[in-house]
Chains A and B, each alone.
Chain A
Amino acid sequence: MMDITLFSPKGKLSTYFFPSNQQSNNGQVSIDMQSNNSNQQQPQNSHTSTSRSSDSVEPCATANKWASKLLKECARAISDKDSSKIHHLLWMLNELASPYGDCDQKLASYFLQALFCKATESGHRCYKTLTSVAEKSHSFDSARKLILKFQEVSPWTTFGHVASNGAILEALEGETKLHIIDISNTLCTQWPTLLEALATRNDETPHLKLTVVVTANIVRSVMKEIGQRMEKFARLMGVPFEFNVISGLNRLGELTKEGLGVQEDEAIAVNCIGALRRVSEEERRTVIQMFQSLGPKVVTVVEEEADLTSSRYDFVKCFEECLRFYTLYFEMLEESFVPTSNERLMLERECSRSIVRVLACDDNENDEEECERRERGSQWCERLREAFSPVGFSDDVVDDVKALLKRYRGGWGLVLPQGDHHDSSGIYLTWKEEPVVWASAWKP
């Protein structure tokens, strides 16, 4: 199957779909765009993807989306403070929900938890419990296994890696001392391929210093092991390498040039994957200015496409957006992993913390907890433009991304903003035509 290049009616965006080679295409399948109604900003693409195999179970794509209906009704009831309705709906959801069932049941389960916490104002306690449970069960091995497996079956994270690495390599071409400041949630899985590229691309392999900034408690514990692996691998690749970890930070905005060990003769790249959303809304500008103060040659930002920030004071709107996003995510997980996958279960569980945090916790109450208020790419663009100007991804990098998506099962697409660049920089990974991940590159 070839790529299908399509243009939206406005002619602004080009979309690429990647039917997998492995699947047999049984004709065109129209995709249930149930989440479309809440996306006013999305490009209107009127084509269908031919990438779905007909035998995949689609419990989430049926018309009978009871979970979504019940959950939204409950959210409204909470917002309206309609006690009896709240009780009724919570009870119903409780009956039907299960973290081990189909998509609807799972979504019902995790969102029910958040709704319950919201209704009973126990969000923070619940979040703390969930966090401590997760911390106990985390180990280097489990985290590694989880993320590697996820990357094997889904380009959700590797999309951002490939785009960012490409931009970094191009921006730092010819430099001999590279310093990458990495603020990501992907446990350094981005770097082996970069190291390999550094080793093989150039005649003169530059020296790479990697400074990883860790904020989440869970990640801190595995960082040591990860660091050792990175060092060994760099040796294997023949890349002069230095690895540092910065932890114990309360706020990302506290970082300084000195604190990061930035030297004058280094070429700096700042790499943020899933990091900016963990910065409290008020601090985001500070953090971006801090990046600017480091004098980077390139800043790569990758975020998931959802807006949980502008609606933070409107519970129902926030809830609906949150549900929309995680519905996509859960569906994606369900189709990417085998049904019995333990890794998928763990990834789903990891969402529960985030959902509770966003929906049932008051942001101002507790500064220590990481909030996770996502913003859409266009929103991040506005913020980043205050300090940086966008760098388009080169054709080579775009080709690399396309090649990457080809290696996965169908359903994935790539959207490149063309023409009018204002407010639409970066590229989008789409799942069933829904933009889900946004990747961008910036220069001073």
Chain B
Amino acid sequence: MATNRFLCEICGKGFQRDQNLQLHRRGHNLPWKLKQRTSKEVRKRVYVCPEKTCVHHHPSRALGDLTGIKKHFCRKHGEKKWKCEKCSKRYAVQSDWKAHSKTCGTREYKCDCGTIFSRRDSFITHRAFCDALAEETARVNAASTMNLAVGNNISYHLMGTPLGPSMAQHFSSIFKPISGTTDETIDQTSRGLSLWMGSQGNNNNLQEIHQLGSVSSGAIFGTDPIVSITNNPSPPQADYQLNWVFGSKLPTSNAEALASTSLPLSDVKESVTQLVSVPSLYSSQQQSSHQAHSSANMSATALLQKAAQIGATSTDPSFLGSFGFKSNSNQVQEGNKYCGLVYGSNTIASGLGSDHHVVLENSVSSDHISTLNQLQMYPAKRRHLQSEDSNGGGQTRDFLGVGVQAISCHPSSINGWI
């Protein structure tokens, strides 16, 4: 017997679950102040999973509503009675199965090289061997130290590839506005600089990039609004898949991403962090081993010219412009240094000259992004997620339209013991 004890203060409608109430409240178009929960009802977490071996069996990890714990139990410990006809995926919870069946087979997977797949397994296998993947990691890997030059209207952002929780710190730096002279010299032992140049014209240049090593850095922030400024008649689709995180662009081909543009900004960070942490796991030893200076003889005149064309626009301050140039120039100062440039500085771009070997990334992000989009379907990386700050409790991912597998609930701070 379910009680509708969560009441909307505007219209009085009752809901069984707090999440549903919150979703409903959005529909009332409340002024911002009132968007917060007016009455912080301290919801007691009283529901404990009956399965003794389960984490949620312990009161400290209890969940807040009955439906939630029921679903959890079914998903984790129950028999998976519901099976998708098309792909044979199994579900314990009928609503999960229904949600999956709606989208199964309708997805198209697009690799950065442009090939489209209707089958997920062939997409995955293709990606693993695709040249686009190989080049991106080659580009991204850098020498041991990276220097950042500072110039007008330029700030340098490094896309680090830190491990686990330290990602959060990187993200905070990334959320800084683009303009402003921030002089950041960051210890490079664990960073990779990913640079974004969304234009497709870079593809041929990318072929020239030597293998630098193989660290896939935080190629999370690949997409950039500036891409739209370039003369791309058809902006690379994959590039936009992460744009939703920054609330700027809508991806052209991603239902989940579309649904997620409604994410409030406060969630963005967490989501981004979560997303980033998913593929970012790799041992640091790999990084140090790849610090070897590569001979990335990359003549990037064309790229530089293109870069120079693009103005220093940053449409969205929350968007990181986390693209710039990564240059592996042997002539510049000491040994191999990487100059990160935020996109859009004519002076710097031209200042680099042809002596500098510039490595520009095209589809780095897309690579990861498209993978991330696959990965975000899964509740996999809970341990990473939990190491981040949770922005409030019970953030399920239902509203992302994911619903493919079990939704992970992030327990917020414990309010009380039961």
Determine if A229 and B380 form an interchain contact, defined as CB atoms under 8 angstroms apart. no
Q: How many A-B residue pairs have CB under 8 A?
A: 99
A237 interface residue (CB < 8 Å to B): yes
- Chain B residue nearest in CB terms to A396: B90
Determine if B380 and A200 form an interchain contact, defined as CB atoms under 8 angstroms apart. yes
In the assembled complex, which residues on chain A have CB atoms less than 8 Å from the CB atom of B279?
Answer: 235-238
Evaluate whether A189 and B129 lie within 8 angstroms (CB atoms) in the complex, with A158-B121, A396-B90, A402-B88 already known. yes
Given contacts A200-B380, A235-B215, 5 further A-B contacts (CB under 8 A): A192-B129, A199-B375, A235-B281, A236-B279, A240-B281
Residues of A within 8 A of B (CB): 144, 148, 151-152, 158, 162, 189, 191-193, 195-196, 199-205, 226, 228-240, 396, 399-400, 402-404, 406-407
Counting chain A CB atoms within 10 Å of each CB, which of B129, B211, B282 scores highest?
B129
In the assembled complex, which residues on chain A have CB atoms less than 8 Å from the CB atom of B274?
Answer: none
Determine if B278 and A232 form an interchain contact, defined as CB atoms under 8 angstroms apart. no
- Chain A residue nearest in CB terms to B133: A232
In the assembled complex, which residues on chain B have CB atoms less than 8 Å from the CB atom of A205?
Answer: 281, 380
Taking CB atoms and an 8 Å cut-off, the chain B residues in 347-399 that contact chain A are 367-368, 371, 374-375, 377-378, 380-383
A200 to B381, alpha carbons, bound, how many Å? 8
Determine if B124 and A399 form an interchain contact, defined as CB atoms under 8 angstroms apart. no
Taking CB atoms and an 8 Å cut-off, the chain B residues in 38-86 that contact chain A are 83, 86
Q: Which of B119, B126, B128 contacts A407 (CB 8 A)?
A: B119
B231 interface residue (CB < 8 Å to A): no
In the assembled complex, which residues on chain B have CB atoms less than 8 Å from the CB atom of A234?
Answer: 282
A96 to B140, alpha carbons, bound, how many Å? 56
- Chain B residue nearest in CB terms to A239: B281
Determine if A232 and B281 form an interchain contact, defined as CB atoms under 8 angstroms apart. no
B291 interface residue (CB < 8 Å to A): no
Evaluate whether A229 and B124 lie within 8 angstroms (CB atoms) in the complex, with A201-B380, A238-B280, A396-B90 already known. no
A152 to B374, alpha carbons, bound, how many Å? 20
Evaluate whether A192 and B128 lie within 8 angstroms (CB atoms) in the complex, with A232-B137, A235-B137, A235-B286 already known. yes
Determine if A148 and B129 form an interchain contact, defined as CB atoms under 8 angstroms apart. yes
Taking CB atoms and an 8 Å cut-off, the chain B residues in 80-133 that contact chain A are 83, 86-88, 90, 119, 121-122, 124-129, 133
A402 to B90, alpha carbons, bound, how many Å? 14
B199 interface residue (CB < 8 Å to A): no
Q: What is the distance, in angstroms, from B336's C-beta to the closest C-beta of chain A?
A: 21
Q: What is the distance, in angstroms, from B366's C-beta to the closest C-beta of chain A?
A: 12
Q: Which of B88, B134, B383 contacts A228 (CB 8 A)?
A: B134
Q: What is the distance, in angstroms, from A195's C-beta to the closest C-beta of chain B?
A: 8
Q: Which of B90, B119, B134, B380 contacts A232 (CB 8 A)?
A: B134
Q: What is the distance, in angstroms, from A19's C-beta to the closest C-beta of chain B?
A: 14
Evaluate whether A193 and B124 lie within 8 angstroms (CB atoms) in the complex, with A204-B383, A232-B214 already known. yes
Determine if A229 and B381 form an interchain contact, defined as CB atoms under 8 angstroms apart. no
B216 interface residue (CB < 8 Å to A): yes
In the assembled complex, which residues on chain B have CB atoms less than 8 Å from the CB atom of A238?
Answer: 278-282, 381
Determine if A232 and B216 form an interchain contact, defined as CB atoms under 8 angstroms apart. yes
In the assembled complex, which residues on chain B have CB atoms less than 8 Å from the CB atom of A404?
Answer: 121
In the assembled complex, which residues on chain A have CB atoms less than 8 Å from the CB atom of B137?
Answer: 232, 235
Report 17 cross-chain contacts, Cβ distance below 8 Å, ordered by A residue.
Answer: A162-B121, A191-B128, A200-B380, A202-B380, A203-B381, A226-B129, A232-B134, A232-B216, A235-B214, A235-B279, A235-B281, A235-B282, A236-B133, A236-B216, A237-B371, A238-B280, A238-B282
In the assembled complex, which residues on chain B have CB atoms less than 8 Å from the CB atom of A400?
Answer: 88
Determine if B129 and A152 form an interchain contact, defined as CB atoms under 8 angstroms apart. no
Taking CB atoms and an 8 Å cut-off, the chain B residues in 207-258 that contact chain A are 211, 214-216
Determine if A148 and B126 form an interchain contact, defined as CB atoms under 8 angstroms apart. yes
Residues of B within 8 A of A (CB): 83, 86-88, 90, 119, 121-122, 124-129, 133-134, 137, 211, 214-216, 278-283, 286, 367-368, 371, 374-375, 377-378, 380-383
A429 to B378, alpha carbons, bound, how many Å? 31
Determine if B371 and A193 form an interchain contact, defined as CB atoms under 8 angstroms apart. no
Counting chain A CB atoms within 10 Å of each CB, which of B86, B88, B279 scores highest?
B88
In the assembled complex, which residues on chain A have CB atoms less than 8 Å from the CB atom of B133?
Answer: 229, 232-233, 236
Q: Which of B122, B378, B380, B381 contacts A151 (CB 8 A)?
A: B122
- Chain B residue nearest in CB terms to A401: B88
In the assembled complex, which residues on chain B have CB atoms less than 8 Å from the CB atom of A148?
Answer: 122, 125-126, 129
A2 to B86, alpha carbons, bound, how many Å? 11
Determine if B129 and A144 form an interchain contact, defined as CB atoms under 8 angstroms apart. yes
In the assembled complex, which residues on chain A have CB atoms less than 8 Å from the CB atom of B383?
Answer: 203-204
In the assembled complex, which residues on chain B have CB atoms less than 8 Å from the CB atom of A200?
Answer: 375, 377-378, 380
Q: What is the distance, in angstroms, from B173's C-beta to the closest C-beta of chain A?
A: 22
- Chain B residue nearest in CB terms to A190: B125
A243 to B86, alpha carbons, bound, how many Å? 34
Determine if A199 and B215 form an interchain contact, defined as CB atoms under 8 angstroms apart. no
Q: Which of B124, B216, B367 contacts A196 (CB 8 A)?
A: B124
Determine if B280 and A229 form an interchain contact, defined as CB atoms under 8 angstroms apart. no
- Chain A residue nearest in CB terms to B367: A236
Q: Which of A192, A228, A399 contacts B127 (CB 8 A)?
A: A192
Q: What is the distance, in angstroms, from B104's C-beta to the closest C-beta of chain A?
A: 10
A403 to B119, alpha carbons, bound, how many Å? 11
Determine if A240 and B380 form an interchain contact, defined as CB atoms under 8 angstroms apart. no
- Chain A residue nearest in CB terms to B283: A240
The 4 closest A-B pairs by CB, nearest first: A192-B128, A399-B88, A403-B88, A238-B281
A240 to B280, alpha carbons, bound, how many Å? 11
In the assembled complex, which residues on chain A have CB atoms less than 8 Å from the CB atom of B134?
Answer: 228-229, 232
Q: What is the distance, in angstroms, from A191's C-beta to the closest C-beta of chain B?
A: 8
A196 to B371, alpha carbons, bound, how many Å? 10
Q: What is the distance, in angstroms, from A198's C-beta to the closest C-beta of chain B?
A: 10
Determine if B88 and A236 form an interchain contact, defined as CB atoms under 8 angstroms apart. no
Q: What is the distance, in angstroms, from B290's C-beta to the closest C-beta of chain A?
A: 10
In the assembled complex, which residues on chain B have CB atoms less than 8 Å from the CB atom of A399?
Answer: 83, 88, 90
